[in-house]
Amino acid sequence: MTTEVGKSVLITGASSGIGKELATLFARDGYHLILVSRSEDRLQTVADEFNRQYGTSSTVIEKDLSKPDSAQQVYDEVNRQGLTVNVLVNNAGVGAHGLFATETNLQKELDIIQLNVTTLVQLTKLFVRDMVARNEGKVLNLASIASTMPNPLVAIYGATKAFVLSFSEALYNELKDSNVTVTALLPPATDTDWFNKAGAENTVVAQGDLADPAKVAKDGYEALMAGKDKVISGASTKLAAAMASVLPSQQSANASRKQMSPPSEKSDSSSANLVIGIGVAALVATGVVAAIMYRNANPLEKAKYRYKWKRALGTVQDIAQSAVKQASDAKSKVQSQVSDLGDEVTSKAQALKAKAKAEQLKYKVKRKVADIDDASIGSMVMD
Ligand SMILES: NC(=O)c1ccc[n+]([C@@H]2O[C@H](COP(=O)([O-])OP(=O)(O)OC[C@H]3O[C@@H](n4cnc5c(N)ncnc54)[C@H](OP(=O)(O)O)[C@@H]3O)[C@@H](O)[C@H]2O)c1
């Protein structure tokens, strides 16, 4: 445990899920906590818990961060209380499940953009300016595995997370000559209230194997402390990100749509249109990632990786089987088209042959008629 007495961390969305787990790690390490969310009661309960367990002090700020002026109000409140934010954790974020064109609500989506993107940018601008002036500070931004691919059925959420990743990586680069770092955390689907809040509880992903928010928070915390640009939490998330970086974007979109669909719905068979070369590249890339992770793992992690790889290979097998079936269907279709074409050619050839015969016959008949005519003219002359 490192004790950071005197340092403060501001965490948005610290009342539950990954944010609460992150707050626990900062509390354990002796930070003063500035906890922000809409529910003062829940934040106060969290603060009291930390105080009892770790003896940490906290400041609770109740704020709806989907409101346009909220970032400035939080910044003003922090300054009013004479606090310095050494670490900023932009964690608060929500999504909304449904088809963009016909199902989701525009105002809700604009609020999501405000919370996940605009407020995050405003808070970062306000606090990073002070960090740069002091030449010290750290920012952790909650991106997602969703940042790496298109996300049908949570299109706006996915787009906000793509923004967060791109913004964070660019800012990391801009600040690389300073002592201020920006880290993006990319969790996989995690066991929090996110799915209920987004109306996405009846989906393949929500009913599958969800990551432990404490483990996700630990990965983010360690990467943040090490000043890394980003961390993808979990072996299968790294695999998914590696796949997304080499697959055509519509293949990734199909895969992520399947995850966000109700468990009973059939998958889109176009996922089997995998181009062989790209599939090989994806497997090589993921193989390299897996080999590195496996080599550095302890025996327990190795057993976990073997289990996860078995499952991942199952998915690859499904895709391959589906591709083979599609190829075989296509072959039968071509064969039947060729056979139809053959029949057509044969019948056309037969028709031509018949026509030629008829022409020949016609010619012969004409000749006969001509012969008869010549003979009658001849006999007439003889007479
Ligand atoms: N769970 C996943 O599968 C997953 C995967 C990848 C990334 N993430 C990201 O991780 C972050 C944390 O989410 P989570 O999974 O821990 O979900 P969560 O348990 O629902 O936590 C969301 C937090 O954000 C706060 N929040 C929501 N709307 C707010 C608003 N308008 N103003 C202020 N605070 C607000 C909530 O507090 P109040 O309700 O008290 O306001 C809560 O503390 C999000 O950015 C999410 O997009 C989650």
- Please list the residues that pair with 310 across neighbouring strands: none
- Work out the widest C-alpha separation in the chain, in whole angstroms: 145
**Res. 273 pLDDT band, cuts 50 70 90:** very low
**Mean per-residue pLDDT for 222-247?**
96
Q: Which residues have C-beta within 8 Å of that of residue 201, sequence separation ≥ 6?
A: 195
Q: Whose CA is nearest to atom 34 of ligand 1?
A: 37
211 lines ligand 1 (CB under 6 A): no
Say if residue 257's pLDDT is above 80.
Answer: yes
Q: Is 266 helix (H, G, I), strand (E, B) or coil?
A: coil
The confidence score (pLDDT) of residue 299 equals: 76
Say if residue 292's pLDDT is above 80.
Answer: no
pLDDT per position as a tens digit, 71-105: 999 999 999 999 999 999 999 999 999 999 999 99
Distance between CA atoms of residues 139 and 9, nearest Å: 9
Residue 247 CA to ligand 1 center (angstroms) comes to 29
In this structure, the strands spanning 87-90 and 8-12 are: parallel
* Ligand 1 atom nearest to CA at 197: 20
Q: Which residues are catalytic?
A: 157
In this structure, which amino acid lies at residue 56? T
**DSSP letters spanning 110-129:** HHHHIIIIIIHHHHHHHHHH
Average pLDDT over the chain reads 84
The confidence score (pLDDT) of residue 298 equals: 74
13 lines ligand 1 (CB under 6 A): yes
**Res. 268 pLDDT band, cuts 50 70 90:** very low
pLDDT per position as a tens digit, 113-134: 999 999 999 999 999 999 999 9
Least-confidence region, from 5-14, 177-186, 351-360:
351-360
Where are the chain's structural domains? 1-233
Say if residue 210's pLDDT is above 70.
Answer: yes
Residue 179 CA to ligand 1 center (angstroms) comes to 28
Asked if residues 172 and 118 have their Cβ atoms less than 8 Å apart, the reply is no
The confidence score (pLDDT) of residue 218 equals: 98
193 lines ligand 1 (CB under 6 A): yes
> What phi, psi does 279 have (nearest 5°)?
-60, -45
Superfamily of domain 1-233: NAD(P)-binding Rossmann-like Domain (3.40.50.720)
Residue 20's nearest CA partner among 192, 145, 242 is: 192
Residue 119's nearest CA partner among 173, 170, 167, 180 is: 167
**Mean per-residue pLDDT for 292-305?**
70
Judged on CB neighbours under 10 Å (0-12, 13-18, 19+), 328 is exposed
Asked if residues 29 and 3 have their Cβ atoms less than 8 Å apart, the reply is yes
Distance between CA atoms of residues 293 and 46, nearest Å: 35
The confidence score (pLDDT) of residue 64 equals: 98
141 lines ligand 1 (CB under 6 A): no
**Mean per-residue pLDDT for 280-305?**
64
Say if residue 309's pLDDT is above 90.
Answer: no
Asked if residues 127 and 137 have their Cβ atoms less than 8 Å apart, the reply is yes
In this structure, which amino acid lies at residue 149? M
Judged on CB neighbours under 10 Å (0-12, 13-18, 19+), 13 is buried
Q: Is 35 helix (H, G, I), strand (E, B) or coil?
A: strand
**Res. 318 pLDDT band, cuts 50 70 90:** very low
Q: Whose CA is nearest to atom 14 of ligand 1?
A: 17
Pocket test for ligand 1, best of 38, 210, 231 (most atoms within 8 A of CB): 38
Tell me the percentage of the chain whose pLDDT exceeds 70: 72
Residue 214 CA to ligand 1 center (angstroms) comes to 14
Comparing 208 with 337, the larger pLDDT belongs to 208
**Mean per-residue pLDDT for 177-198?**
98
Say if residue 354's pLDDT is above 80.
Answer: no
Residue 121 CA to ligand 1 center (angstroms) comes to 16
Distance between CA atoms of residues 372 and 365, nearest Å: 10
183 lines ligand 1 (CB under 6 A): no
Helices (H), the chain: 17-28, 40-54, 70-80, 106-113, 120-134, 155-174, 194-198, 213-225, 235-246, 249-259, 276-295, 299-382
Residue 20 CA to ligand 1 center (angstroms) comes to 10
Distance between CA atoms of residues 175 and 61, nearest Å: 29
Distance between CA atoms of residues 166 and 1, nearest Å: 32
**Length of the chain, please?**
383
**Res. 63 pLDDT band, cuts 50 70 90:** very high
Q: Whose CA is nearest to atom 33 of ligand 1?
A: 37
Q: Whose CA is nearest to atom 41 of ligand 1?
A: 38
